[in-house]
A and B are shown apart, each in its own frame.
Chain A
């Protein structure tokens, strides 16, 4: 079996854009609230179904669907934060973890009820289209997904750097109490941050639906990948997340050379453990660094 390594790398880089989008949502929520959003997986799965309904049932243009998903999931995220997560903000960490886990389970069950457990896939006219650059076949589908993901991150970057709310989010991530002292409405900031994180997960999920097949159990391995990326890249910056996404995507793509495709999901986990062993501080070390800056 011959494997075309340049093509593999190109598709890995294209996938990394998507990975970065979904991981940044997780990192954003963690940064501001110091909780890991387990419902992230549920959001990505729901977004995939929203895309499915919009594209297959309603016949919308595949690349418009994510734009509709974005505000919907922003509102959903704010709702979850306001009515659920905010109540356990000051409780032990375990509480928020179990709470979001419960929400994830409920989301899964709703999907099972509405869409059954069948595996779905979205096939559009774009799905199989490719074009050639220097002899490398590039899927238009993946290229557009990549561009949308990167665009979303660039918009986020501008938002975080230039608007009041973006600066307030960054301030709250650095020091919640101090932000309160200087008059930032941190409750509001947290709602917006959770909404944005959820919206990014929603965007990523609806983009993923264009590439992968999905079922109600879909988000779990992607939650794991997001987590792996966040650990790899650190929580410090969007650049870190993007780098982490790139490392994971390339590692996954190249893993095809050594291990069977069925075990590809294994890679993200193995990578996670390796990083933890090689960097003895692990996440804690990164967090300490994060707090210093």
Chain B
């Protein structure tokens, strides 16, 4: 696309306006920092969604175990931070550890195809959570490994780990707002690059027909593992940022199945296998989680807290999306545009090929 064409497109201006608005959010002070927190979470979830999409959307390997990467990233940072290392320095390591972990289970599990891989990932998620929950007890009698314990604590079991909070929490949170924003854009650039590279073409080929992909010379094992590791790396770094922002992590939150469910849902809602879909999906997911699911309905004596319905809402969303619009919001948008076009309402004339 030419620069001039970019300038004329309304999409460019809207995105530009949105970015400027997001950059200004911490200074606007809307809702007493509420918007900033919401923004931070949105950036985090867009990154997660984008990362999952590289494996689940582009490559078509559905993973229900991505929480393991998230948790490993969070734990790597927390454990090292409690041993006096600057948490920021641990972020690359958190990503690398998550990626290596991805290789560790991806190598055997990616031999499985499609749905069997998906079920194996449920196992990965469960196994990792159980392992981290019991790691302290497990290694306390093993000679070499027990040196990793600090006052008898490595992962802290079900209690989790608490990080010290900084004195100036306001500017700390603001720094992380921008940090998460940067991470999100980096993630999107990676996703864009993957989509437009030879690597990405290979992934799309695997998604469409793995046997055919192999026949035309795609090294499917290598590509699938690479996609998993890249995805894990991004999720690991997100986990690390989450731990630094929240100061507290425990296995049920960061390794929990709901975390994995979220990462499946977001790209699916938006339209998996696309660049923009996961962003839209993550925004919808955050809004649903933050606005709708915290609401309480009261009609007379009938009281209903919607937070008890979150699995129903997510499950229902999945069923509806799969049955009626498998391509998510993006698919819906395309379908609507087509319908309007048929009605003869103003449609831009087809662009001439240059």
Contacts and interface: CB of A to CB of B under 8 A. Distances in A.
Q: Do A and B come from one complex?
A: yes
Contacts of A38: 118-119
B74 to A, nearest CB: 21
Interface in A240-275: 260, 262-263, 265-266, 268-270, 272-273
Interface string A66-107: 000000000000000000100110011111111101111111
Given A93-B114, A282-B111, A105 B126 contact: no
Given A97-B62, A221-B126, A102 B116 contact: no
A103 B111 contact: no
A59 B108 CA distance: 48
Interface string A191-233: 0000000000000000000000000010011011001100100
Interface in B114-141: 114-116, 118-120, 122-124, 126-127, 130-131, 133-134, 137-138
B113 A262 contact: no
A262 B133 contact: yes
Contacts, number: 141
Contacts of B257: 217, 220
A102 B308 contact: no
A276 interface: yes
Interface residues of A, number: 51
A231 B109 CA distance: 12
Interface stretch (B36-44, B192-200, B309-317): B309-317
B99 to A, nearest CB: 18
A284 interface: yes
Contact of A266 (B122, B130, B311, B314): B130
Given A35-B115, A88-B322, A266-B127, A109 B109 contact: no
A263 B139 CA distance: 13
Given A94-B62, A94-B114, A282-B112, A105 B315 contact: yes
Contacts of A108: 311, 315
B311 A93 contact: no
B318 A260 contact: no
A95 B268 CA distance: 10
A98 B264 contact: yes
Contacts of B114: 93-94, 97
A102 B322 contact: yes
A108 B318 CA distance: 14
A203 B322 CA distance: 29
Contacts of A181: none
A227 B130 contact: no
A260 B138 contact: yes
B319 interface: yes
A62 to B, nearest CB: 29
A269 B138 contact: no
Main SS class of interface, B: helix
B319 A93 contact: no
A227 to B, nearest CB: 5
Interface residues of B, number: 45
A249 B97 CA distance: 33
Contacts of B134: 260, 262-263
Most buried by A among B60, B114, B133, B311: B311
A275 to B, nearest CB: 9
Interface string B239-257: 0000000000000000001
Contacts of A101: 64, 264, 315, 318
Given A36-B119, A105-B261, A273 B105 contact: yes
Interface centre among B108, B257, B315 (most CB of A within 10 A): B315
Given A94-B62, A98-B268, A106 B311 contact: yes
A224 B309 contact: no
Given A262-B134, A273-B109, A98 B62 contact: yes
Contacts of A133: none
A84 B319 contact: yes
Interface of B: 60, 62, 64, 105, 108-109, 111-116, 118-120, 122-124, 126-127, 130-131, 133-134, 137-138, 257, 261, 264, 268, 308-312, 314-319, 321-323, 326
